[in-house]
Amino acid sequence: MEASPFLYLTTRGWKTGRPHRIEIWFVELEGRFYVISEQGTRAHWAQNLKRDPDVAFRVGGRDYVGAARTLESEADAPVARRVQELFESQYGWNEGLIVELTPITGDEV
């Protein structure tokens, strides 16, 4: 995979049903991709994910279809800490709502 500082995330608008694409920093950990909403659930794309976790994303020249979920439970704490460490190391920043993007096996385009 070619190195890229950005992930291009496409969600479905919860009001319009239309695709909504953003460019966002990310980290990869154990085959999953993580992004952080600096605005928490106030960000439109984060609101979209709450209502429809099916997503598409592009990173490093590859397209994926997958599922998104926020890391908010106590069970997610160890992964959330690791993601924050990776963000801090890579971008010098790590605050906000962490979203995990899991590619669906076999649906990589």
Please report the domains of the chain, with CATH numbers, ordered by start residue: 6-103 (2.30.110.10)
Q: What are phi and psi of 82, to 5 degrees?
A: -65, -40
Share of the chain above pLDDT 90, in %: 84
pLDDT tens digits, one per residue of 6-40: 999 999 998 899 999 999 999 999 999 999 999 99
User: What pLDDT shows up at residue 4?
Assistant: 72
CA distances from 86 to 11, 26, 33, 50 (A): 24, 9, 12, 24
Distance CA 22, CA 33 (A): 15
Q: Does residue 43 carry a pLDDT above 50?
A: yes
Q: Is the pTM of this model over 0.75?
A: yes
